Amino acid sequence: MEKEKVFPKDINEIISVGQNINIEILTGDYKGIYYSYVYDEDKDGFLIFPPTDSLGRMGFVKVGDMISVSCISKKNMRVAFDSKILQIIKNSDKTLYKIGKPTEFYKYEFRENFRVDVLLNATCYFYDTSNKLQTKQASILNLSASGAKVSLNEFFELNKRIILEFILENRTFNVNATIVRRLQIDKN
């Protein structure tokens, strides 16, 4: 990941109440990237909802843990900053995490062609072991110039060729794809 500093005139050009954000938990059992939402702000920090993954599972952090927060700024640029969990606030209907306000921002590029989170219905076409064309419903979770993350109720071998058909901005796309990674959800 490349880091190039960004100097906003106002912190609210980068992050503000009502904004969707990505949280990267940097250490521990729940290390990874999660989704969250800025619920409120005070003079010391931001109150955010607990981070959850694309399946709705929480990523647990504790007071003092460092996280990396990224979001899309008002200038349509992916920007990130590092912060610390200052407080966990629990009341009867919700739990909120308080994170410190950042002092430094930087452009956040995963790679030259970074991934864009989407949630698109798709149809997956593939040939089964008897070479009969099969069709399954799928969800595309994110897209990049080099691939897509797809969720469906079918287990494919690596290097399996499939076709994904989906609609984006009123245009139908058919994409030839090859399975290069897979993750099976533990049902226990």
DSSP string, 58-101: B----TT-EEEEEEE-TTS-EEEEEEEEEEEEE-SS-EEEEEEP
Average of per-residue pLDDT across 145-173: 88
The residue ranking higher by pLDDT, 6 or 176, is: 176
The pLDDT score that the predictor gives to residue 27 is: 83
Contact in structure between 20 and 2 (CB atoms under 8 Å)? no
The pLDDT tens digits for 67-118 are 999 998 888 888 899 999 999 999 888 999 999 998 888 887 655 556 788 8
pTM for the whole structure: 0.56
Q: What is the residue-averaged pLDDT of the chain? A: 87
The pLDDT score that the predictor gives to residue 4 is: 75
> Does 188 have pLDDT greater than 80?
no
The pLDDT score that the predictor gives to residue 110 is: 54
Percentage above 70 pLDDT, the chain: 93
> Does 41 have pLDDT greater than 70?
yes
The residues near 126 (Cβ < 8 Å, ≥ 6 apart) are 133, 134, 136, 154, 156, 160, 161, 162, 163
pLDDT band at 52 (very low <50, low <70, confident <90, very high): very high
pLDDT band at 2 (very low <50, low <70, confident <90, very high): low
pLDDT band at 183 (very low <50, low <70, confident <90, very high): confident
Please state which CATH class domain 2-109 belongs to. Answer: mainly beta
Q: Where in the chain is the domain with CATH 2.30.110.10?
A: 2-109
Average of per-residue pLDDT across 148-154: 87
